[in-house]
Amino acid sequence: MDGHMAPRMDLAAIRADFPILSETVRGKRFTFLDSGASAQKPRQVIGAMVRMMEKAYANVHRGAYHMSEQATEAYEASRRAVQRFLNAADEREIIFTGSSTNAINLVAHSYGRGVMKPGQAVVISEMEHHANLVPWQMLRDAHGIELRVARITDAGELDLEDLAAKLADGKVGLVAVTHMSNVLGTVTPAALIARMAHEAGAKVLFDGSQAAVHRRVDMQALDADFYVFTGHKLYGPTGIGVLYAKAALLEAMPPFLGGGDMIAEVTFEKSIWAPIPGKFEAGTPPIIEAIGLHAAIDYVEAIGMPAIEAHERALVDRAMARLPHIEGVTLLGRAQDRGGVFAFALDTAHAHDVATLLDRAGIAVRSGRHCAEPLHARFNVESTCRASFGLYTTPEEVDLLADALGQAREFFR
């Protein structure tokens, strides 16, 4: 099995970096299989944020004094870390936001209302998180933009023929799709989607909230116009997200929020916007969170994204070898290219009952519709449980889940 030369990582040492993983739940070892909702934090992230607050904190871009200059430098260093992490061409293409949701809303407002014209269309897919659906519905209703939904196949993969059909009339201004489904685990062929969008004269946005955590993403290789991800799923803090956008697009877009820090000059009559990225960072930004995100990026890069991807690939293989074979378990989606996210239903029990039982075994999974209600309707299931893996997940935890599911089914028979 392990014949190929996969990059290795020291799982025990990694787990020791995450204090919460040594907690117990109801007397059982804590088996955290909900990293897709929000990941746990290593000491390196916690420490970096505490150190900043204890030794180097002040507001950024404002004070002509040592601490503020130091904080500004740390904040901008985080931007450069994100630039490297995404292989963006220019650090000015990295905008800090509050979350992925904020980042998508920024694009929907600024690019959607400011650059797109009524009568144009946005294409999303059937497997979008509500964060990449609702902002476009709001844009549709406010600005006369048509919203098109590209189908997915029964295997849970993007139907590329349908996408091509939806692009065919040349009215599409933006394709906004997930890079990895938060329910199905499907990884979409982003470079191909970008090419299809560009050939149809459209820009492309990827919701990388899940994908950026699990594999190396490269803005220049993907030729992405917009890409969003969030800190808290990448082992960093809540309250910080990232919008990557090509500099030329950002230059052409009007600001989203107005306020301090996003202006070059203000009089009572008018204001002149600051150059990018400042134009899109009104108000005091998430400074401490940016330092935490920087530490998180350093953390995953020290391990190496290829090693993380290989580790998670092994976990996915293990899960695929076990979960579909448990009697009564239905897995949503069977994409060829997938990451460590598994949504499943049990024939004898509702997702909530299953989650309550698993919790008794110390296993944390999400239950419900995972902010993807239309996707559940697409597969005609009311709700599912979702197990999602992180870089600290062990093969034994996958087995524990599989064993507990078998017992849960018996419990409700």
Partner 1 sequence: MSGGLFDDLRDLYQEVILDHGRKPRNFRRLDDADCTARGDNPMCGDRMELFLKMAPDGTIADAAFQGRGCAISMASASLMTDTVKGKSPAQAHEMSDKFRTLAMTGTCPECGGDIVEDMERLAPLSGVHDFPSRVKCATLAWHTLNAALDGQAKEASSE
* Contacts of range 252-255, beta carbons closer than 8 Å, 24 or more positions apart: 252/115, 253/110, 253/111, 253/114, 253/115, 253/280, 254/110, 254/114, 255/110, 255/279, 255/280, 255/282
Give the nearer residue to partner 1 in terms of CB position, either 234 or 351: 351
CB 127 within 8 A of CB 184: yes
CB of 91 to partner 1, least distance (A): 39
Catalytically annotated residues: 371
CB 194 within 8 A of CB 204: yes
Torsion of CA 395, 390, 340, 315, to 10 degrees: -20
CB 34 within 8 A of CB 365: yes
CB of 369 to partner 1, least distance (A): 6
- Rounded distance between C-alpha atoms, residue 279 and residue 272, angstroms: 10
Residue from 398, 388, 392 nearest 365 by CA: 388
135 preceded by a cis bond (ω within 30 of 0):
no
CB atoms within 10 A of CB 162: 18
Query: Which amino acid does the sequence have at 412?
Result: F
Helix (H) or strand (E) holding 385, with range, is strand 384-388
- Rounded distance between C-alpha atoms, residue 127 and residue 133, angstroms: 9
Torsion of CA 235, 239, 245, 249, to 10 degrees: 180
**Nearby residues of 32 by Cβ (< 8 Å), 6 or more positions away:** 20, 21, 40, 364, 390, 392, 393
CB 407 within 8 A of CB 330: no
Give the nearer residue to partner 1 in terms of CB position, either 171 or 370: 370
Buried b / exposed e over 19-40, threshold 16 CB at 10 Å, is eebeeeeeeebebbbbbbbebb
Helix (H, G, I), strand (E, B) or coil at 241: strand
Query: Which amino acid does the sequence have at 97?
Result: T
Residues found near partner 1 in the complex (CB under 8 A): 349-353, 356-357, 360-361, 367-369, 373, 376, 382-383, 404, 407-408, 410-412
- What one-character DSSP code corresponds to residue 98? S
**Which tokens belong to 404?**
């507990």
- Rounded distance between C-alpha atoms, residue 267 and residue 104, angstroms: 30
